[in-house]
Structure 1
């Protein structure tokens, strides 16, 4: 529970636990002994996992209709129900031809590829897809499709929608009743555009705040996540037995199953090594809450559990979720997540279906070969017909429970086209309340906050008048980038909210991004923080804010040196190490990612025109605040719990607090504990991908023998069977072999620690032209080092180790905070060599083969 005076969270959700309890959750940590995965059939799920008391039992009329439809469906129609393509990759005619069971719009996908598509455009696409799905002229099927969308903090893909604080802010608000209202508003605005299905809530219990999706978690405390999951599901779907999936509610998705917030090092899509007991007690509580509230869908997670990708884990998806916990809805995959399963690709993955995946989320053109391969696998028996029928039954059951067979088409539904609901005042009022309650006051010297609006106030910082930055990722575009204030009609920046109140009270206000002013202010409000990011792109090496680029600190110190009181409003998707910024501030507010209603902040920061408090600071930390930059995994109930500010901390208006003005500012990084980053060790190390390419393009290596027009590769033996690869360049063009990731990685710890890029090489046939070693970063940097002489000096057909000082890349402009391709070897000539054991190794500079110091 929080340590404040707010409401106590309900922990009496109906759940019968067969052999365990969450009462002793404080005794469990992510580091508990790891269970042996072994043969999944040998494990007994009932020893740890509960039988849930779910509100929807099997309804005989619905089950009979499912059985009847299933008997009438062809195999082709069944497989089509299991395929979920994306709007950028299919046409209305594709829907008419195949009759997909569902489809989605990913982040940054819009009708007609138009970012400024109107609600009418969204409705028109929904109507066209629906009509094509029920048109049986080509596929013989009249089963309605359903559209799924990532409406994760409001209907965030649609211009003009109400955008709420991201989940981390809602967690600080500690108000499940408000959260239910937030979800209900989201459902209504989604229904206006004819969409049936929302991919929310995210119920990750974050254990390492380096994770770039930390802001999608409500709290580090699973009890909070459990209660919030129930509230969000109820708000989105309606209450079972009353308003469940009526004309104002949408299908919800509890995600991502399972353990996405507990990966090692906070690496997105990484490996969760928790014991099975900890997996339940820490990471599964959101499913207890969401499923007992009636959630109809669950999304599988990208991450692995003890090395096995969840999309291919039959034990978790089938034995635990469906059989033991009793979930009878559908399990949908994440964006080509099935392609990450061992032995699978985006175009083919029988293992995922056999493990319990009911719907493949398959964006890009991969949907067609996946459909054809899954059909062939069903015909051959590789996917048993019983598994196909189970998956389709679940899909049909959800559609029937949602009334999709009876409801009018999207454009004819009660809320469709009621564009006045999108961004309506009533909806924005709820968002403003959520903003107010999410603010956490961390520091307040002399009780400076709230401020009198009658003063001369300077508002500065690059987030002060920037609705996109205050809204964060998953905002219109996937990453929340490339947005301007004009993309948020009806929204208010933080500055706009402040200005309205200050002017009305007779005060003076000045906006200055760089801190310069015309009239000396009585106080400065500085609004600054993280740039928007979404999954993958937000992962960090540690929690130091603006590491290596302290421009915001310089602004704070400049104002402080002039004797101007400084109020900091910090925009972030996670707690961060900001000791220097705290020291330079008289007051410090953690505002998280408040969304489109920035004026909610003004209602708490400022008194009214009569100098009375408008709204108290009531937000409490739902994530512990770090005392050190490398204190990345500090969580309530830890055995050695020493945060700077504890879970549940938050000052009230006028309260001075406990933070000193001379917090330690020295960053202490223990590079001795920095382990080598393995990129290729017998095979490519996940999540990295190895590929061969021509002219810079790369095709992932998936076979023991693979080639393109320039490069041939096959597995070879160095010490043990197939622990290396041979690469032969024929000289007909520029060929390359590369190791790359789906998202950039923060590798500054290695560049700061005199590390090297190391690889074992066996020269088979020396090069005929220049060979370069490259490293790439995002958004657009690529550096090359000529290693021709180094390779030429190596003995032929003997394994040697080459090490390259990372400073060679840094001096040429590599941004080590965003490395996307750590290894690439390129040549236009002929060359044949073996490669093995590719890694970034600290600290090895003094012995580097290639040095630039």
Structure 2
């Protein structure tokens, strides 16, 4: 090769069209380099040598896969840049793409803004708010040197027993479709005339988004995670596939396959849905990525025939495989499958073409390294104010008086003495839920933020005494004259199958805590949860007011903004609140529909029902 020849290659010229650059680069790649591009590995096993030797196309942080505790965005950027330097030293200098689950803000990073989980955003019905959250999340993710976000989840949750219900915006497909505006926030708005289905990223302040989990993950029988969605194709298309049309029209770059099955057939090996429908009929031109270790789930016993699983998944239409650890075995098996013809070379070329297209569209060839100028956006005042707005708008007032003519809220911030109680009143980790710093999430001051108790102390007058007891005993009330009590209870953090729950009772004896306090003091109960929970009629009768606050994230001040009357309630139920788990699944509009509170229910502080 003559000196300077490589610089004249089409794929290195940013002024050339993306398709020309993609085809030029693809034509220069060996089989080994192509298979490397299809391989995504976790940072735990990603060494610069592994990246370089195997031409690894992508690295991810699985849930909680963080370099060290309380690592800041700048340190994340240093780590990602280190991997990128190794990728750029390969023969063709193809940048790797680093991905992360930033599903309610850049939730893996200490100090980042944590927004409400999707179920809370669905309660707002505010597409513009979702878009602005996408913009803010993209900035905080890019500040960490990461250009790829495994979000949004556009599942339509059909049964609250499902452990991922809080990752869904609603049981109503139209609400979910409306909230796909977050894709445009994450990636930017495609210009007029942009080809439908073609990926789009607006620049260095935006990220590659990922619509997930294709398709039907929210409709599984009995809400079992990774279970079986049983329905005709027309219903699958009308309910669960519909949000993907909106994501595709917004230029979404990637789609993640679901662990679940449709009528008994696993989605990861479903060629009809992955290729014939998503790629051919819907015209999706980005890449399809597998979920974490999903290929192992295709064989029973688990992972027993990995080679066959790779063949079925890749031939079905999976382009990038989230290995995430056994990448050497994956590469060896896929190489063997290509050599034997069991996986056609044309299928590999299609997969790699799609991956390269997204990398070119995302600007990674021109700007592969982190932009340190974005670090000031992480957890900034503007983003925290946005998160606080989202909390305010997500709150659903379910009850506001024992006597409808005498609203209990807003609370008097100048009361002499108030009691704050409950397991969730002063626990930031519980407030944020799963996918926060660690995969499952945890209790305590896991990141920077404001608990409900913090916010109450900030909101009340100087003359108001705030007494906090997590689980008050009868002695708590002896000789005390509380004006009212605020009790916050709910669920502990959970993720995925660990959140599947056939009972849906309030955790940590939450109902008993509310009942004990409400027997003695006028009480506002606040539920911190990722879904509706069982509320016994006697408990509902006892409390003076009840607020569903979902999983609000790091900005507890959004709750006090509303309960003390600075802002009005706007939230409406994004999901039916059942009376008993025996009723599940409930279908809005069916003759048997008899909820405690229907889809769309919500009150103002004046006890006026919000319009659905």
TM-score normalised by structure 2 residue count: 0.91
1:648-797 correspondence runs (5 A): 648-655=600-607
Say which of 545, 562, 568 aligns to 2:506. Answer: 545
CA distance in 2, matches of 1:260, 1:321: 16
Q: Quote how far apart the aligned CAs of 1:68 are.
A: 1.1
Say which of 179, 185, 209 aligns to 1:228. Answer: 179
CA distance in 1, matches of 2:83, 2:287: 21
Question: SS where residue 366 of structure 2 aligns?
Answer: coil
Q: Quote how far apart the aligned CAs of 1:509 are.
A: 1.5
CA contact (8 A) 1:625 1:646 kept: yes
- Give the match for residue 227 of structure 2: 270
- 2:326 matched to 1:326? no
Question: SS where residue 213 of structure 2 aligns?
Answer: strand
Q: Quote how far apart the aligned CAs of 1:641 are.
A: 1.6
- 2:549 matched to 1:598? no
Question: SS where residue 432 of structure 1 aligns?
Answer: helix
- Give the match for residue 44 of structure 2: 88
CA contact (8 A) 2:227 2:261 kept: yes
Q: Quote how far apart the aligned CAs of 1:115 are.
A: 2.2
Q: Quote how far apart the aligned CAs of 1:542 are.
A: 3.1
CA contact (8 A) 1:163 1:431 kept: yes
CA distance in 2, matches of 1:307, 1:502: 56
Question: SS where residue 182 of structure 1 aligns?
Answer: helix
CA distance in 1, matches of 2:238, 2:591: 17
Q: Quote how far apart the aligned CAs of 1:346 are.
A: 8.0
Say which of 329, 336, 341 aligns to 1:376. Answer: 336
1:386-405 correspondence runs (5 A): 386-405=346-365
- 2:497 matched to 1:536? yes
Q: Quote how far apart the aligned CAs of 1:631 are.
A: 2.0
Q: Quote how far apart the aligned CAs of 1:60 are.
A: 8.3
Say which of 614, 617, 622 aligns to 2:566. Answer: 614
- 2:426 matched to 1:465? yes
CA contact (8 A) 1:347 1:367 kept: no
- 2:440 matched to 1:479? yes
CA distance in 1, matches of 2:345, 2:549: 52
* Pair 131,292 (structure 1): closer, same or farther in 2 beyond 3 Å: same
- Give the match for residue 248 of structure 1: 205
Q: Show CA shifts across 1:275-314 (max 9, x none).
A: 1001000101110111111101000000011111100000
Say which of 107, 114, 117 aligns to 2:71. Answer: 117
- Give the match for residue 196 of structure 1: 147
CA distance in 1, matches of 2:428, 2:145: 26
Q: Quote how far apart the aligned CAs of 1:347 are.
A: 4.4
CA contact (8 A) 1:336 1:346 kept: no
Question: SS where residue 130 of structure 2 aligns?
Answer: helix
* Pair 304,60 (structure 1): closer, same or farther in 2 beyond 3 Å: farther
CA distance in 1, matches of 2:71, 2:16: 42
1:572-587 correspondence runs (5 A): 572-579=529-536, 580-587=538-545
Question: SS where residue 581 of structure 2 aligns?
Answer: coil
Question: SS where residue 525 of structure 2 aligns?
Answer: strand
1:262-341 correspondence runs (5 A): 262-341=219-298
- Give the match for residue 588 of structure 2: 636
Cα RMSD after superposing both structures:
1.8
- Give the match for residue 8 of structure 2: none
- Give the match for residue 441 of structure 1: 397
- Give the match for residue 166 of structure 2: 215
CA distance in 1, matches of 2:418, 2:296: 54
Q: Quote how far apart the aligned CAs of 1:146 are.
A: 0.4
CA distance in 2, matches of 1:382, 1:244: 35
* Pair 345,327 (structure 1): closer, same or farther in 2 beyond 3 Å: farther
Aligned length: 575
Question: SS where residue 583 of structure 2 aligns?
Answer: coil
CA distance in 2, matches of 1:224, 1:418: 32
CA distance in 2, matches of 1:277, 1:447: 46
CA contact (8 A) 1:553 1:584 kept: no
Q: Quote how far apart the aligned CAs of 1:657 are.
A: 7.1
CA distance in 2, matches of 1:345, 1:201: 32
Question: SS where residue 195 of structure 1 aligns?
Answer: coil
CA distance in 1, matches of 2:413, 2:587: 38
Does 239-248 or 638-647 show the bigger shift? 239-248
Q: Show CA shifts across 1:519-576 (max 9, x none).
A: 3210000000001101110001133434xx7x222222222322x1010000111011
Q: Show CA shifts across 1:193-245 (max 9, x none).
A: 1001000000000111100000000010111111111x011000011129943
- Give the match for residue 577 of structure 2: 625
- 2:376 matched to 1:420? yes
Q: Unpaired runs of 5+ in structure 2?
A: 1-14, 193-199
Q: Quote how far apart the aligned CAs of 1:639 are.
A: 4.0
Question: SS where residue 578 of structure 1 aligns?
Answer: coil
Q: Unpaired runs of 5+ in structure 1?
A: 1-58, 607-612, 659-853
Say which of 447, 457, 468 aligns to 1:488. Answer: 447
CA distance in 2, matches of 1:508, 1:102: 54
Question: Higher strand share goes to which structure?
Answer: 1
CA contact (8 A) 2:255 2:287 kept: yes
CA distance in 1, matches of 2:556, 2:132: 19
CA distance in 2, matches of 1:244, 1:99: 24
CA distance in 2, matches of 1:248, 1:315: 36
- Give the match for residue 674 of structure 1: none
Q: Show CA shifts across 1:91-130 (max 9, x none).
A: 122112112111100111112xx12112221011111111
Question: Higher helix share goes to which structure?
Answer: 2
CA contact (8 A) 2:408 2:544 kept: yes
Question: SS where residue 60 of structure 2 aligns?
Answer: strand
- 2:455 matched to 1:501? no
CA contact (8 A) 2:74 2:143 kept: no
CA contact (8 A) 1:225 1:285 kept: no
Work out which structure has the larger RCO, using CA pairs closer than 8 Å and 6 or more positions apart in sequence: 2
Q: Quote how far apart the aligned CAs of 1:651 are.
A: 0.3
CA distance in 2, matches of 1:96, 1:86: 15
CA contact (8 A) 1:226 1:289 kept: yes
CA contact (8 A) 2:410 2:605 kept: yes
Question: SS where residue 466 of structure 2 aligns?
Answer: strand
Say which of 411, 414, 419 aligns to 1:454. Answer: 414
CA distance in 2, matches of 1:118, 1:614: 34
Q: Quote how far apart the aligned CAs of 1:264 are.
A: 0.6
Say which of 484, 488, 491 aligns to 1:527. Answer: 488
- Give the match for residue 410 of structure 1: 369
Q: Quote how far apart the aligned CAs of 1:484 are.
A: 2.2
Q: Show CA shifts across 1:682-739 (max 9, x none).
A: xxxxxxxxxxxxxxxxxxxxxxxxxxxxxxxxxxxxxxxxxxxxxxxxxxxxxxxxxx
Q: Show CA shifts across 1:136-163 (max 9, x none).
A: 2xxx231000001000000000000000
CA contact (8 A) 2:201 2:208 kept: no
Question: SS where residue 85 of structure 1 aligns?
Answer: strand
* Pair 251,629 (structure 1): closer, same or farther in 2 beyond 3 Å: same
CA distance in 2, matches of 1:181, 1:232: 7
CA distance in 2, matches of 1:186, 1:635: 33
- Give the match for residue 101 of structure 2: 150
- 2:64 matched to 1:108? yes
Q: Show CA shifts across 1:598-636 (max 9, x none).
A: 111000011xxxxxx310011000101102232221132
CA distance in 2, matches of 1:186, 1:149: 12
